[in-house]
Structure 1
Amino acid sequence: MHKILLAFLFLSFIGKAQTNSYKISFDNAVHHEANVKISFPEVKSKTLKIRMSRTSPGRYALHEFVKNVYGFKATNSKGEDLKAKRKDPYSWQVSDHDGTVNIEYTLFANRGDGTYSQIDETHAHLNIPATFMYAEEFKHRPVDVTFDVRKDLNWKIATQLKQKSGNTYTAPDLYYFMDSPTEISDFSIKSFELDGQEIQFVLHHQGTKEEFDQYFDQVERIVKQEKAVYNELPEFDYGKYTFLACYMPNVSGDGMEHRNSTILTDTDALADGGMNANIGTVAHEFFHAWNVERIRPDELEPFDFSEANMTGSLWFAEGFTSYYTGLMLCRAKVRSQKEYIEGLDGTFNYVWNSPALEYFSPIEMSYQAPFVDAATSVDPTNRENTFISYYSYGSILGLALDLSLRQDDLNLDDFMKLMWTKFGKNEVAYKIEDIEATLKEYAGDKFGTEFFNKYIYNSEMPEYAELLKTVGVKLDRSEENDLGVSLSETDNGLEINRNTLKSSAAYKAGLVSGDIIKSINGTPIESKEQFDKIISESSGTVKIEFTRFNEKRNTEAKLNTDPTYTISIDDKASKDAVKNREDWLRSK
Structure 2
Amino acid sequence: MSSPTVFFHVSFVEPQAHYAEITMRIQGLQKPFVDVKMPVWAPGSYLIREYAKNVERFRAYNLSEELIPHEKISKNTWRIYSDDKEIHIRYSIYGFENSVRTNFIDDSHAFLSPVGTFMYVDDCLDYPVHIQIKRPDFWSKISTGLEKSTDLPDTYIAPNFDILFDSPIEIGNQDTWSFDIGGTLHECAMVGGGVYDKQKLTQDITTIVTEENRIWGTNPNTYYLFITHNYQSNNGGLEHLNSTVLATSRLGYSQDATYKSYLSLIAHEYFHLWNVKRLRPKALGPFDYEAENYTTGLWIMEGFTSYYDNLIIRRCSFFDEKEYLQMLALDFNTVYNRPGHEIQSAALASHDTWIKQYRPDENSHNTSISYYNKGAMLAAAIDLKILVETNGQQRLDDVLKTAYQKFYLLENRGFEEHELMELVHQVTNVNVSEIFNAAHTLEELDYNLYFNKVGYEIIDLNANSQSLSMGMKTVNNDTRIIVKNIDRDSAAWKGGLNVDDEILAANGYRMDPTGRTIDYILANSKEGDQVSLIISRDGLIKNLNVQLQYSDKKSFIIQRKETATVEERRLGNIWLSIE
Would you call these one fold, judging by a TM-score over 0.5? yes
Aligned to 2:571: 580
State the shift of 1:373 in Å. 4.6
Correspondence 1:317 to 2:301: yes
Offset of 1:487 from its aligned partner? 1.8
Deviation at 1:448, TM superposition (A): 2.6
Equivalent position to 1:178, from 146, 157, 165: 165
For structure 1, which segment, 346-355 or 522-531, has the greater mean C-alpha deviation from structure 2 after superposition?
522-531
1:471–1:537: structure 2 CA closer, same or farther, 3 Å change rule? farther
* Helix, strand or coil at the partner of 2:419: helix
Shift of 1:17: 3.2
**Deviation string for 1:365-388 (max 9, x for gaps)?**
111111135458xxx563221110
Q: Give the CA deviation at 1:529.
A: 4.3
Counterpart pick for 1:565 among 527, 550, 555: 555
Match of 2:413 among 424, 428, 433: 428
Match of 1:140 in 2: 126
Partner of 1:220: 206
Task: Tell me how far 1:252 sits from its aligned partner.
Answer: 5.7
Structure 2: state its 5+ residue gaps: none
Pair 1:47-2:30 in alignment: no
What residue ranges of structure 1 are gaps of 5+ in the alignment?
1-14
Structure 1 residue 45 displacement after superposition: 0.7
Alpha carbons of structure 1 residues 502 and 443: separation in structure 2 relative to 1, 3 Å: farther
Counterpart position of 1:543:
530
Q: Does 1:400 align with 2:381?
A: yes
Which residue is equivalent to 2:224? Answer: 241
SS at match of 2:283: helix
Alignment partner, residue 395 of structure 2: 411
1:505-520, aligned counterparts within 5 Å?
505-520=491-506
Q: CA deviation at 1:118?
A: 1.0
1:460 to 443, 455, 460: 443
* CA displacement, residues 476-509 of structure 1 (integer Å, 9 cap, x when unaligned): 33114142221212346433211x2224333233
Query: Matched residue of 2:333: which SS?
Result: helix
- Report the equivalent of 1:441: 426
Any residues of structure 2 matched to 1:279-358 within 5 Å, and which? 279-358=263-342
Question: Aligned match of 1:489 in 476, 495, 501?
Answer: 476
Asked if the contact 2:509–2:517 (Cα under 8 Å) also holds between the matched residues in 1, the reply is no
Q: Distance in 1 between matches of 2:357 and 2:296?
A: 14
- Over 3 Å counting, the alpha-carbon distance change for 1:216 and 1:244 in structure 2 is same
Q: How far off is 1:219 after superposition?
A: 1.6
Identity of aligned residues (%): 26
Name the residue aligned to 1:12: none
Question: What's the counterpart of residue 261 of structure 1?
Answer: 243
Partner of 1:9: none
Q: Deviations over 1:499-551 (max 9, x none)?
A: x2224333233333223444555555423345335424432123222214232
**TM-score normalised by L of structure 1:** 0.89
Question: 376, 386, 395: which is aligned to 2:367?
Answer: 386
| Alpha-carbon contact 1:296-1:430 (below 8 Å) kept | yes
Work out whether 1:359 is the aligned partner of 2:346. Answer: no
Distance 1:524 1:465 in 2: 46
How many residue pairs were aligned? 562
From the superposition, tell whether residues 279 and 387 of structure 1 become closer, same or farther in structure 2 (CA, over 3 Å).
Answer: same
Which AA in structure 1 matches 2:51? F
> Residues 545 and 552 from structure 1, CA distance in 2 versus in 1: closer, same or farther, beyond 3 angstroms?
farther
Moved more, 558-567 or 436-445: 436-445
**Contact map agreement 2:474 2:483 (CA 8 A) in 1:** yes
Q: CA deviation at 1:473?
A: 4.3
CA distance in 1, matches of 2:335, 2:86: 55
Q: Distance in 1 between matches of 2:531 and 2:27?
A: 72
> Contact 2:192/2:250 (CA < 8 Å) preserved in 1?
no
Give SS of 2:177's match. strand
3-state DSSP class of the match of 2:459?
Answer: strand
Cα pair distance change 1:322/1:513, threshold 3 Å: same
CA distance in structure 2 between the partners assigned to 1:70 and 1:60 by the alignment: 25
1:320-371 C-alpha deviation (Å, 9 max, x unpaired): 1111111111112222221111223332122123332333321111111111
- Give the aligned CA root-mean-square deviation in angstroms: 2.5
Query: Which residue type is aligned with residue 91 of structure 2?
Result: Y
Q: 1:352 touches 1:461 (CA, 8 Å); kept in 2?
A: no
Match for 1:582: what amino acid? N
* Residue-by-residue CA offset, 1:112-139 (whole Å, 9 max, x unaligned): 3221111112211111011112212432
C-alpha deviation, 1:573, in angstroms: 5.8
**Cα 1:129–1:572, aligned 2, differ >3 Å: closer, same or farther?**
same
CA, structure 1 residues 551+272, in 2 after alignment: closer, same or farther (shift >3 Å)?
farther
Which region of structure 1 is more displaced relative to structure 2, 531-540 or 113-122? 531-540
> Is contact 2:530-2:548 (8 Å) kept?
no
Question: Residue 186 of structure 2 is aligned with which of 199, 206, 223?
Answer: 199
Are the equivalent residues in 1 in contact too, given 2:350–2:371 (CA < 8 A)? yes
Q: How many angstroms apart in 2 are the aligned matches of 1:201 and 1:225?
A: 19
SS of aligned partner of 1:158: strand
1:373-405 deviations in whole A, cap 9, x for unaligned? 5458xxx56322111011111112112222232
CA–CA separation in structure 1 for the residues paired with 2:58 and 2:107: 24
**Which letter maps to 1:212?**
K
Matching of residue 26 in structure 1 with residue 31 in structure 2: no
Distance, in Å, in 2 between the alignment partners of 1:96 and 1:231 is: 51
Q: Give, in angstroms, the shift of residue 29 of structure 1.
A: 0.9
Structure 2: distance between partners of 1:451 and 1:348: 16
Corresponding residue for residue 151 of structure 1: 137
